[in-house]
């Protein structure tokens, strides 16, 4: 894979890397809040759904999960209702992943920018980051898998960090280095098979890795 070249600022002077991060199960453990939101959706609609199963397969867009539980013609309506319910039920029940603040701080310490590129509805993604005081420089929502490459290219990201094989595909499509963490639904073998360049146990390992990555490109 042809990776993006040495990172430079707009005026051509040396700068740190722009690093993209996925959100759910990469930066945040949103399973408790998402579970509560699905349970509220079930109460409101009378739908029979398995919230415990749903939170084991986070990553793809909401509409893909809704398709398991609702007829096609109701998916847009249910997506709107879910997103309306989300702020009251999902934000305070969500936790920062171990090492998340240190990972973002490491990007900034290297003179770089930390952006979040996620399939989540962008306003709700921003609520999570604000609530957990995660200092992202940009937040771009509503993008999944290969679609994430649009934002990664636009912002000049040379690295993308995620927990899902879809994140690996997004990084590779953008010709960015794929750094995968095993904190989501995909294990190390799946992530490597999908083409991850680097696999870390979690974000606590990211600052040391980033330090090596920057030093090798100095």
CA distance 8 to 89: 41
**pLDDT of 8 strictly over 70:** no
46-104 per-position pLDDT tens digit: 999 999 999 999 999 999 999 999 999 999 999 999 999 999 999 999 999 999 999 99
Which pLDDT score, from 0 to 100, does residue 6 have? 36
Of 2-16, 46-60, 143-157, 171-185, the poorest mean pLDDT is in 2-16
Torsion 121-59-155-99 (CA) sign: positive
**pLDDT of 5 strictly over 70:** no
62 close to 79: Cβ distance less than 8 angstroms: yes
Which pLDDT score, from 0 to 100, does residue 11 have? 32
Residue 161 DSSP symbol: E
Q: How do strand 95-96 and strand 28-29 relate by DSSP bridges?
A: antiparallel
Q: How far is CA 113 from CA 21, 31, 38, 196, in A?
A: 11, 27, 34, 21
- Give the predicted TM-score (pTM) of the model: 0.92
Mean pLDDT of 145-169: 98
Q: Name the residue among 88, 92, 84, 90 with its Cα closest to residue 33.
A: 90
Could you tell me the pLDDT band of residue 181, with boundaries at 50, 70 and 90? very high
């Amino acid at each position: 894979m042809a990776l993006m070249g040495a990172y430079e600022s707009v005026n051509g002077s040396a700068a740190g890397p722009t690093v993209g991060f996925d959100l759910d199960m990469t930066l945040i453990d949103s399973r408790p809040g998402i579970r509560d939101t699905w349970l509220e959706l079930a109460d409101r609609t009378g739908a029979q759904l398995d919230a415990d199963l749903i939170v084991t397969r986070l990553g793809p867009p909401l509409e893909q999960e809704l398709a398991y539980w609702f007829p096609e013609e109701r998916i847009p309506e249910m997506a709107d209702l879910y997103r309306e319910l989300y702020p009251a039920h999902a934000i305070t029940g969500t936790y920062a992943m171990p090492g998340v603040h240190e990972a973002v701080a490491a990007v900034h310490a290297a003179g770089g920018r930390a952006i979040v590129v996620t399939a989540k509805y962008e306003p709700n993604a921003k609520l999570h980051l604000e609530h957990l005081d995660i200092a992202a420089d940009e937040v771009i929502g509503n993008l999944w898998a290969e679609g994430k490459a649009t934002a990664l290219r636009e912002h000049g990201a040379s690295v993308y960090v995620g927990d899902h094989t879809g994140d690996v595909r997004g990084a590779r499509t953008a010709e960015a280095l794929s750094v995968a963490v095993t904190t989501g639904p995909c294990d190390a073998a799946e992530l490597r098979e999908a083409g991850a360049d680097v696999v870390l146990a979690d974000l606590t390992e990211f600052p040391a890795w980033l330090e090596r990555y920057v030093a090798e490109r100095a």
